[in-house]
Chains A and B, each alone.
Chain A
Amino acid sequence: EAQVTQNPRYLITVTGKKLTVTCSQNMNHEYMSWYRQDPGLGLRQIYYSMNVEVTDKGDVPEGYKVSRKEKRNFPLILESPSPNQTSLYFCASSSSGGAFGTQYFGPGTRLLVL
């Protein structure tokens, strides 16, 4: 089954404790992206990647890092999480850049930073 998987689905952590949220897709998609969703703000793009070893900042990259060492994986790293990073995070992938490729979203990771 074609899908985007994220782990963990739920995470509670404390300020400053490094964490990684994994994202994996099995559709051989070039394009992958991370979003955060906050009430009243919709989804905001954090980082995106056009292909292996190619990553670019989205609208809200501060406090986040990503890497794209393999085509299928695109982990999101929070080196020193802060409470304002409490949010619902989505990973997405598509077969090409956004224009003609349908983005498939993962199930989401709900993060609480205390």
Chain B
Amino acid sequence: GQQLNQSPQSMFIQEGEDVSMNCTSSSIFNTWLWYKQDPGEGPVLLIALYKAGELTSNGRLTAQFGITRKDSFLNISASIPSDVGIYFCAGLGNTGNQFYFGTGTSLTVIP
């Protein structure tokens, strides 16, 4: 299957700091998605990106669809304790129906 690599694997930051994480793929995707998973729950969609170069924000979150269509980036500004969780990127395959998820970035925010 297609491999999506996320980095960093984990992050420990102070409350108030900004966070950056990225996702790279060996294949081109036409849609990139970012999800957050809280402990003991299923992932929840944060941002969806549909066009190369697109920059989309959702509150303190901003995500970008890389120009090459093989990568995407997520930034969180002014982190707060409730940002704790695992963040996953996902790409939608060519058929538009099959999803490929990244390996996840675990975020810990220290108050």
Contacts and interface: CB of A to CB of B under 8 A. Distances in A.
B65 interface: no
Nearest to A108: B42
Contact of A59 (B43, B97, B100): B100
Interface in B47-100: 48, 50, 88, 90, 92, 96-100
B1 A59 contact: yes
Given A48-B98, A50-B97, A97-B96, A41 B44 contact: no
Interface residues of A, number: 27
Contact of A98 (B4, B44, B96): B96
Contacts of B2: 59
B31 A102 contact: no
B25 interface: no
Nearest to A110: B40
A37 to B, nearest CB: 9
Nearest to A9: B40
A2 interface: no
Contacts of A108: 40-42
A108 B104 CA distance: 17
Contacts of A106: 42
Contacts of A56: 97-98
11 contacts: A31-B97, A42-B88, A43-B43, A43-B88, A45-B100, A60-B1, A99-B92, A107-B40, A107-B41, A108-B40, A108-B42
A-B complex: 9 closest residue pairs judged by Cβ atoms: A105-B42, A59-B1, A43-B101, A42-B101, A97-B97, A42-B103, A98-B92, A99-B96, A97-B96
